Amino acid sequence: MKPALREQILTIIAEIPAGRVTTYGRIAAMTDGGTPRLVARALRDLPQGHDLPWFRVITASRRLADHPGAIEQRARLVSEGVLFDGGGRVASEVLWP
């Protein structure tokens, strides 16, 4: 991945406000040539100890992606007041931007 694209992706993620979420696709659409898979790759490659709100990025179906950190992701979102329905979907009202 080109460093400029990675920087765009990480900058967008840093701007997601508490209590809100956005999708891999929405982040990709805000970049110059990004794709949802490249957004996921940028998140996967984050170093230990970073302070980016990675947990505020969800799938287009408004569900959490299937990954090892999904339990922690859900707990962090709930602690910020994000609600999930019975099917595990986040309310559309909390989508950003």
> How many Å apart are CA 39 and CA 9, to the nearest integer?
6
pLDDT digits (tens, 9 = 90+) for 1-22: 999 999 999 999 999 999 999 9
11 part of a folded domain: yes
What kind and span of H or E run contains 6? helix 3-14
Q: How many domains does the chain have?
A: 1
Question: Both tokens of residue 5?
Answer: 């694209």
pLDDT digits (tens, 9 = 90+) for 23-47: 999 999 999 999 999 999 999 999 9
* Structural domain for 55, as ranges: 3-80
Using an 8 Å Cβ cutoff, are 39 and 27 in contact?
A: yes
Using an 8 Å Cβ cutoff, are 18 and 46 in contact?
A: no
86 part of a folded domain: no
> How many Å apart are CA 82 and CA 60, to the nearest integer?
16
What CATH number does the domain containing 28 carry?
Answer: 1.10.10.10
